[in-house]
Amino acid sequence: MKRRTFRPESLWRWLRRRVTGDVRLRRALIWMRARPLALFHGRLAGRLMERREIGDMGELIAARWLLAHDRKVLYRNYRGVNRGEVDIVARHRDVLTFVEVKSRTSTAFGRPADAVGPDKQRLIQRGAMDWLRLLGNPRIKFRFDIAEVVLIEGELPHVNVIENAFQMPDSSMAGR
């Protein structure tokens, strides 16, 4: 079977003929990543954004905020082997931070950080322990932060990072 090679302009023509709504949304998200921080409009590709897309946008905005404030983002959306998860793993000077991002389009029902209850904290802690296990359990300082991202229609996104929002239980540190 002969392989077909595409010139860039013919590739775009070919894609345009076969594009689905989902691909357009992905392209719109890529475009939004490339542009600078702007006013929030709850629409993406002409339709209202879904909760997942608002969450993805919040994580992207939080990662940009962390980069702009002397933190190096090491990994995003880490899923551990023991069902743990961490939204952003970052380094802040000599401290490893595990950041949970909570995005909201309104503060009518409380702060976004209020949604990080004990069950969610355990999930993040499991993910952090898996990350540290991958590093060979080094003796380094680490903490858990919560990044609140409030996206209100027609306003700039507001980011608030709560450093050391919760602690690792002492019993889980046995053997370290």
Q: What domains lie within the chain, and their CATH numbers?
A: 9-167 (3.40.1350.10)
| Other residues' Cβ atoms within 10 Å of the Cβ of residue 34 | 7
pLDDT tens, 27-84?
555 555 555 567 777 777 778 888 888 888 899 899 999 999 999 999 999 998 888 9
For residue 20, the model assigns a pLDDT of: 46
Q: Is the pTM of this model over 0.85?
A: no
% residues pLDDT > 70 (the chain): 74
What's the Rg (C-alpha) of the chain?
20
d(CA 39, CA 154) in angstroms, rounded, equals 5
pLDDT band at 120 (very low <50, low <70, confident <90, very high): very high
Axis crossing angle, helix 21-34 with helix 51-68, rounded to the nearest 10: 20
